Amino acid sequence: MNPIRLTGRAAIGLTRMTGQVTIFAARGLARVGQHPAELARQVVQIGWLSLPVVGLTALFTGAALALQIHSGGERFQAGDVVPAIVAIGMARELGPVLGGLMVAARVASAIAAELGTMRVTEQIDALVTLSTDPVGWLVSPRLWAALLCVPMLVGVGDVIGIMGGWLIGVNALGFNSAIYLSNSWAYLESWDVVSGLLKGAVFGLIVALSGCWFGMTAAGGAAGVGRATTNAVVAASVGILAANFALTGLFF
Amino acid sequence: MLAVRGLSKAYGAKRVLDGVDLDLAEGESLVVIGGSGTGKSVLLRCILGLETPDAGQVLWRGEPLAGQQAAFMDGFGMLFQNAALFDSLPVWRNVAFRLLRTMPKTQARRIAIDKLARVGLGPEVADLYPAELSGGMRKRAGLARAIAADPKVIFFDEPTTGLDPIRAAAINALIRGIVDETGATAITITHDMSSVRSIADRVALLDCGRLRWQGSVAGLDSAEDDYLRDFVAGRARPMARGPQA
């Protein structure tokens, strides 16, 4: 096939899909508060049940970061910067990105699998025949739950990550406990934390949107649900990394 | 009451419905038969508004359905081929799904249990989840959901698919009984001739997206249409047929 035609077709397809996903997201976000019980259920599913995986990820990341910074910093006699760098690194970058990626792995796949199965087993058609808007009942609570919960997860992850650095700093690197904690807060600015939480909100939306879009558009039985799940996780992960780059450029 | 005029639908080059006309009188039970892939389910989906037809329209009480979809949706029930119960909700909530929007939970639950009893399921089933039910029980629960709000029109999509002959006969008897009791208008899509003979007041044969024959159940056995005779008798025919758009 003509490469120009192929490129044009791909560009049109991408533009069309971007428009469709944007309208889909806007419809989902606009139906806020229609089903509060469903929203509460999704807050538990997306927020509360993601806490262990996000917490463990943050703990080990903070600990590893402390070891790396200490080892690298020693080369130019800057080992003392460990507490400040761990705190800033967790709040600005690693907390939101790794938290977002862990939520993407856990939540985007679960949403895509659940909605995809509902799609191919006609449960979504059944909703329509019962005079219920599937976007209001299925998509909106998931988008809002992720939008609200992921920043909270990021905040908790920041604290746990800093504590992971503190554990290693005090027990393996010879830092004084009080000085470590004091240095952690001393160099941390409020914007470091707020920017990370804002990133978390955007990443939460990307995760839920990927899961909902690929789930709601799944077709072709079990294989289709499998494809939807894979696509949702890939799109959410790549989306998080791309959005992180853009937001970092915007914020700093 | 419900009329279909010149309904056409194609997926890419494949024309699935090709100018279908149908009329359904109030209280009538119409069964649409036809082989696999002849457009039966697409016809149903177009009537329900789940698919947008390329041409033609559906009329509800003489007016285009497109303008009164919400009112129509509130007045009908649907039994899906695999019941399509919501996995995340217990059976009673599935049955009472529509009722819960307009009445208190206790009242909706009581009606749901009554409807479950009507389809032969005891109250012990109410708090189970769909995954805990057998295929026949799921179909019955789906039927209870379809009749929960006392609809004026009920759609049945392949109601006996996947059931053994005894359970299929029970579902057919239930459907006929419910249609007779409630006076509801019914459209059933099937290729199961035992369903046709149990449920139908009138039969329409869809073939290659076109309405090929329609008439009474008694007329099935005296019809001169070769394809219909083969279909009713279950005789094999050449597979490759059908118009392309």
The percentage of residues in chain A with a pLDDT greater than 70, rounded to a whole number, is: 100
Task: Report the gap between the CA of B43 and the closest CA in chain A (Å).
Answer: 15
More confident of the two residues B91 and B231: B91
Tell me which chain A residues have a C-beta less than 8 angstroms from the C-beta of B78. Answer: 126, 129
Q: What is the pLDDT of residues B153-186, one digit of tens each?
A: 899 998 888 788 888 888 888 889 888 888 889 9
Chain A residues 118-137 with a CB less than 8 Å from chain B: 118, 121-123, 125-132
Give pLDDT, residue A16: 94
What is the domain partition of chain B in residue ranges?
2-233
Q: Closest-CA residue in chain A for B148?
A: A130
pLDDT tier at B244 (50, 70, 90 boundaries)? very low
The pTM of this model reads 0.86
Binary contact (A126, B70; C-beta < 8 A): no
pLDDT band for position B221 (cuts 50, 70, 90): confident
The chain-wide mean pLDDT, for chain B, equals 87
Give the ipTM: 0.84
Cβ distance of A123 and B86 shorter than 8 Å: yes
Determine the distance in angstroms separating the CA of A125 from the nearest CA of chain B, rounded to an integer: 7
Q: How far is CA B75 from the centre of its chain?
A: 15
Number of domains composing chain A = 1
Lowest mean pLDDT among A38-52, A222-236, B57-71, B170-184: B57-71
Residue A209 inside a domain? The answer is yes
Contact A129 B85 (CB under 8 A): no
Q: Residue A81: inside a domain, yes or no? A: yes
Asked whether residue A101 is assigned to any structural domain, the reply reads yes
pLDDT tens for each residue of B76-94: 889 998 899 999 999 999 9
Residue B239 banded pLDDT, cuts 50, 70, 90 = low
Contact B87 A122 (CB under 8 A): no
Residue A74 touches partner B, C-beta closer than 8 Å: no
- Domain annotation covers residue A10: no
Domain-located, residue A182: yes
pLDDT digits 0-9 by tens, A111-163: 999 999 999 999 999 999 888 999 999 999 999 999 999 999 999 999 999 99
Per the domain annotation, does A17 fall within a domain?
no
> What mean pLDDT value characterizes chain A?
94
Q: How confident is the model at residue B2 (pLDDT cuts 50, 70, 90)?
A: confident
Please name the member of A117, A123, A125 whose beta carbon is closest to the beta carbon of B50: A125
A interface test, pick of B42, B65, B78 with most A CB neighbours within 10 Å: B78
Long-range contacts of A35-41 (CB under 8 A, 24+ apart): A35/A136, A35/A137, A35/A140, A35/A141, A38/A137, A38/A138, A38/A141, A39/A140, A39/A141, A39/A144, A39/A145, A41/A141
In CATH, what number does B2-233 get?
A: 3.40.50.300
Domain assignment present for residue A244? The answer is yes
When pLDDT is averaged across residues A197-220 and rounded to a whole number, the result is 96
Does the CB of B129 have a partner CB in chain A at under 8 Å? no
Residue A22 lies in a domain: no
Residue A228 has pLDDT above 90, yes or no: yes
Cβ separation B73–A128 shorter than 8 A: yes
Contacts 24+ apart (CB under 8 A), B105-113: B111/B148, B112/B144, B112/B148
**Domain housing A35:** 31-251
Q: B200: Cβ–Cβ under 8 A, 6 or more apart, which residues?
A: B29, B30, B31, B188, B217
Residue B241 is predicted with a pLDDT of 55
Full DSSP string of chain B: -EEEEEEEEEETTEEEEEEEEEEE-TT-EEEEE--TTSSHHHHHHHHHTSS--SEEEEEETTEEGGGGHHHHHHTEEEE-TT----TTS-HHHHHTTTGGGTS-HHHHHHHHHHHHHHTT--GGGTTS-GGGS-HHHHHHHHHHHHHTT--SEEEEESTTTT--HHHHHHHHHHHHHHHHHH--EEEEE-S-HHHHHHH-SEEEEEETTEEEEEEEHHHHTT---HHHHHHHHT----S------
What is the structure's pLDDT at B96?
95
**Which of A121, A131, A132 shows the shortest C-beta gap to B84?**
A121
Most confident of A195-199, B220-224, B229-233: A195-199
